Chain A
Amino acid sequence: MPQIFHRSTNTLSRATIFGAVFVVAVLGWAALEVQRSPYVTYAGVRKPQPVPFSHQHHVAGLGIDCRYCHTTVETSSFAGIPPTKTCMNCHSQIWTNAQLLEPVRASYRTGQSLQWTRVNQLPDFVYFNHSIHINKGVGCNTCHGPVDQMPLMYQQESLQMEWCLDCHRAPEKNLRPREQVFNMRYQQPTGLNPVKVDGQRYDDQFDLGTALVKKYSVRSVKDITSCNTCHR
């Protein structure tokens, strides 16, 4: 009786069996990577805006405070998008003829709001409150990244739940003194660059963070990682 299979089938079957393990592992890994990539999260993607507003120019160049435009960030869940009038405080005086700013002037003339494209968008089933984060010492750039370096606004982080939980499970990793919250160039304490709170020097983020958790009465990790803290 002739052989059904060629000798090479032995090698081939071994290769496919072990290869299958490898292929499945790589596919699993790739799926998890894609799920966290900007392809899914849009992190780092510059979305088109009606006016190419530059945070870099206004914040780093001109030194305008975040709260000049985002007025309700300390008191409300919503940081606030400024009305056209806020833009016109300055732009009724400077760059009054710039073609780039025509949509702003048009909005001012007609009373129709500018339709900005939302950049940092959380799903509707997430309850998020800006004011509590600001008041407990979470810096703007902890979540929003170096906004003062962004000529066009983009989302810095993935905004995925695991990212939220990273901080909620260990808030001391990121807290800073309240007065430093709007400081875009704030550095976490090191031996060379200590941070003072209530006369006490801290040269380590863990010590500082732990002290601030206590000082600002941040609720326990169990509380702030409970499902209904964010999914109400």
Chain B
Amino acid sequence: MDEQSKMTANAQETPVMEPGYTFGTVTEKISAIVLTRPASNGWFVGFGIAFLMTMMMLYAIGYLFLKGVGIWGVTIPIGWGFAIINFVWWIGIGHAGTLISAILLLLRQSWRNSINRFAEAMTLFAVACAGIFPGIHVGRPWLAYWLFPYPSTMGVWPQFRSPLMWDVFAVSTYATISALFWFIGLVPDMATLRDRATHPAARIIYGMLSLGWRGSARHWHRYETAYLLLAGLATPLVLSVHTVVSFDFAVGIVPGWHTTIFPPYFVAGAIYSGFAMVLMLAIPIRKIYNLEDFITELHLQNAAKVMLATGLIVAYGYGIEAFMGWYSGDRYDAFTLWNRLHGPYAIPYWSLLVCNIFIPQVLWIRKLRSNPVALFFVSLVILVGMWLERFIIVVVSLSRDFLTSSWGMYYPTRWDWMTYVGTIGMFLAAIFLFVRLLPMISIFEMRTLLPEAEVKE
């Protein structure tokens, strides 16, 4: 009883949505961002910068196609450089969107309603950024379609025993389900925009995207069924996609890769970085578009708690890696640990520990969890840390394997950096377009949170 009243008190303190809204005002507030609010100068500047970064990426990729992967820093023994690091990083970021939209839906967490739409958009754009890298890192990118099994004139299929092949399936399934899930969820809101739009072109475009939605009981029934089914399909993907990505390493025998802790530790890391990205997007967006009433302190608190929890799992992963380096008695594993701490890549490794383990511990402090500025910077630190983690995994293990004769160093070139920074630009450009063209918060799901929506039985 006491506990229950305490929970109610907590809920009153930080509601999912600020009180005082009606069906009409919720719809008006969210759809106005798309339909009536003019694009500000700030939007144009931000989009312009992101667009230029995208162009820089296309330039770097164009030059890559012209010259080949020799323009990158990859070489023997480090044949996997930025391309794989960035691929894993981006795919990981996408995971938060799926977790929020699918798992939290099945768990009936109503706070997801405010953030699922743009978290899913973030997933899609992150997967798009990730998808670039496997395509361009193959030596002959115009043959990248060889990754897919199809009845080729070579009479052979891709190697199904290779985790790289599993990756193709995991990532393409993930992209497909995420896109479908996002689009199905958008249909009722598309209809709202269609009905509220005044410009004929907007009405036609939103009208086509709303697939003839009229909001009849049958439509809602089918919508709910389809959405739940897709949520069910997407739920295992939250775990499976990054598990398969981790197999790319864990199935190999290189010291530092060949460990069974990789799948859970990768999945936790993915959600960790994904929530950091959600916060980095949500915090400025809610400020700029005055959406603090919809994306409240509760959301920031919850996201911060998820980061804290997954961050501790990641820390546990590092701990087990270090422990096994000693406990296995394997001299190569022991050396891997020593090399991370004292070798040529010690600075990135120590930075990674600081970014991923030590700094995020400030999230234990409730005051900081509800301080948007502090959360923004902690999220930034986590994203950097998670990128460094993939750098350490990919590069350090390859640079120091069993034979000293095959040791080497990795030096990324400007083309590596241009491609990486360029994908961030592409991601941001897509987000900029998204907030202007589509309702970034699910209108009809927000309406279900209103007191008006309560059905008396």
- A residues near B (Cβ < 8 Å) are 1, 4-5, 9-10, 13, 32, 35-36, 158, 160-166
Residue in contact with A158 in the complex, picked from B150, B153, B211, CB distance below 8 Å: B153
Residue in contact with B153 in the complex, picked from A4, A10, A161, CB distance below 8 Å: A161
Residue of A nearest to B153 (CB): A160
Can you list 20 A-B contacts (CB < 8 A)? A1-B195, A4-B203, A4-B204, A4-B207, A5-B204, A5-B207, A9-B212, A10-B212, A13-B211, A13-B212, A32-B150, A32-B151, A35-B152, A35-B153, A158-B153, A160-B155, A161-B153, A164-B155, A165-B156, A166-B155
In the complex, what distance in Å separates the CA atom of A5 from the CA atom of B209?
12
Min CB–CB distance A155 → chain B (angstroms): 15
Min CB–CB distance B210 → chain A (angstroms): 10
Asked whether A36 lies within 8 Å of B156 as measured between CB atoms, the reply is: no
B66 part of interface (Cβ distance < 8 Å): no
In the complex, what distance in Å separates the CA atom of A164 from the CA atom of B154?
9
B194 part of interface (Cβ distance < 8 Å): yes
In the complex, what distance in Å separates the CA atom of A170 from the CA atom of B190?
58
Task: Annotate B194-210 by CB proximity to A: 1 below 8 A, 0 otherwise.
Answer: 11000000011001100
Asked whether B207 lies within 8 Å of A162 as measured between CB atoms, the reply is: no
Q: Which residues of B contact A13 (CB under 8 A)?
A: 208, 211-212
Residue of A nearest to B197 (CB): A4
Asked whether A162 lies within 8 Å of B153 as measured between CB atoms, the reply is: yes
Residue of B nearest to A5 (CB): B207
Q: Which residues of A contact B151 (CB under 8 A)?
A: 32
Nearest first, the 7 closest Cβ-Cβ pairs linking A and B are: A162-B155, A165-B155, A160-B153, A161-B154, A4-B207, A4-B203, A161-B155
Task: Annotate B140-161 by CB proximity to A: 1 below 8 A, 0 otherwise.
Answer: 0000000000111111100000
Contacts A35-B153, A164-B155 given; 20 further ones with Cβ under 8 A?
A1-B195, A4-B203, A5-B204, A9-B212, A13-B208, A13-B211, A13-B212, A32-B151, A35-B152, A36-B153, A160-B155, A161-B154, A161-B155, A162-B152, A162-B153, A162-B154, A162-B155, A165-B155, A165-B156, A166-B155
In the complex, what distance in Å separates the CA atom of A165 from the CA atom of B150?
16
Q: Which residues of A contact B150 (CB under 8 A)?
A: 32
Q: Which residues of B contact A35 (CB under 8 A)?
A: 152-153
Residue of B153, B154, B195 with most chain A CB atoms under a 10 A cut-off: B153
Q: Is the interface of A mostly helix, strand, loop or mixed?
A: helix
Q: Which residues of B contact A10 (CB under 8 A)?
A: 212
Min CB–CB distance A150 → chain B (angstroms): 24
Q: Which residues of B contact A161 (CB under 8 A)?
A: 153-156
Q: Which residues of A contact B203 (CB under 8 A)?
A: 4
Residue of A nearest to B212 (CB): A10
Q: Which residues of B contact A32 (CB under 8 A)?
A: 150-151
Q: Which residues of A contact B212 (CB under 8 A)?
A: 9-10, 13
Q: Which of B172-199 contact A (CB under 8 A)?
A: 194-195
Q: Which residues of A contact B156 (CB under 8 A)?
A: 161, 165
Min CB–CB distance A63 → chain B (angstroms): 37
In the complex, what distance in Å separates the CA atom of A136 from the CA atom of B211?
64
Q: Which residues of A contact B155 (CB under 8 A)?
A: 160-166
Min CB–CB distance B261 → chain A (angstroms): 34
Min CB–CB distance B398 → chain A (angstroms): 24
Residue of A nearest to B203 (CB): A4
Residue of B150, B155, B211 with most chain A CB atoms under a 10 A cut-off: B155
Q: Which residues of A contact B153 (CB under 8 A)?
A: 35-36, 158, 160-162
In the complex, what distance in Å separates the CA atom of A116 from the CA atom of B207?
65
Asked whether A160 lies within 8 Å of B204 as measured between CB atoms, the reply is: no
Min CB–CB distance A26 → chain B (angstroms): 15
In the complex, what distance in Å separates the CA atom of A32 from the CA atom of B153?
8
Min CB–CB distance B143 → chain A (angstroms): 13
Min CB–CB distance B146 → chain A (angstroms): 13
Residue of A4, A160, A164, A165 with most chain B CB atoms under a 10 A cut-off: A4
Asked whether B194 lies within 8 Å of A4 as measured between CB atoms, the reply is: yes
Min CB–CB distance B312 → chain A (angstroms): 46
Min CB–CB distance A124 → chain B (angstroms): 16
Residue in contact with A160 in the complex, picked from B154, B194, B195, B207, CB distance below 8 Å: B154
Q: Which of B117-158 contact A (CB under 8 A)?
A: 150-156
Residue of A nearest to B207 (CB): A4
Q: Which of B198-240 contact A (CB under 8 A)?
A: 203-204, 207-208, 211-212
In the complex, what distance in Å separates the CA atom of A161 from the CA atom of B153?
6
Min CB–CB distance A170 → chain B (angstroms): 12
Q: Which residues of B contact A36 (CB under 8 A)?
A: 153
In the complex, what distance in Å separates the CA atom of A162 from the CA atom of B152?
8
In the complex, what distance in Å separates the CA atom of A165 from the CA atom of B156?
9
In the complex, what distance in Å separates the CA atom of A35 from the CA atom of B155?
13
In the complex, what distance in Å separates the CA atom of A13 from the CA atom of B156?
39
Residue of A nearest to B195 (CB): A1
Q: Which residues of B contact A163 (CB under 8 A)?
A: 155
In the complex, what distance in Å separates the CA atom of A4 from the CA atom of B204?
7
Residue of B nearest to A158 (CB): B153
In the complex, what distance in Å separates the CA atom of A4 from the CA atom of B214?
13
Q: Which residues of A contact B152 (CB under 8 A)?
A: 35, 162
Residue of B nearest to A160 (CB): B153
Q: Which residues of B contact A164 (CB under 8 A)?
A: 155
Q: Which residues of B contact A162 (CB under 8 A)?
A: 152-155
Min CB–CB distance B139 → chain A (angstroms): 14
In the complex, what distance in Å separates the CA atom of A162 from the CA atom of B151?
10
In the complex, what distance in Å separates the CA atom of A4 from the CA atom of B208?
10
Min CB–CB distance B162 → chain A (angstroms): 14
Min CB–CB distance B202 → chain A (angstroms): 10
In the complex, what distance in Å separates the CA atom of A164 from the CA atom of B155?
9
In the complex, what distance in Å separates the CA atom of A232 from the CA atom of B212?
59
Min CB–CB distance A70 → chain B (angstroms): 28
In the complex, what distance in Å separates the CA atom of A147 from the CA atom of B153?
25
In the complex, what distance in Å separates the CA atom of A13 from the CA atom of B212?
10
Residue of B nearest to A168 (CB): B155
Min CB–CB distance B110 → chain A (angstroms): 33
In the complex, what distance in Å separates the CA atom of A165 from the CA atom of B154?
8
Q: Which residues of A contact B204 (CB under 8 A)?
A: 4-5
Q: Which residues of B contact A5 (CB under 8 A)?
A: 204, 207
In the complex, what distance in Å separates the CA atom of A188 from the CA atom of B155?
25
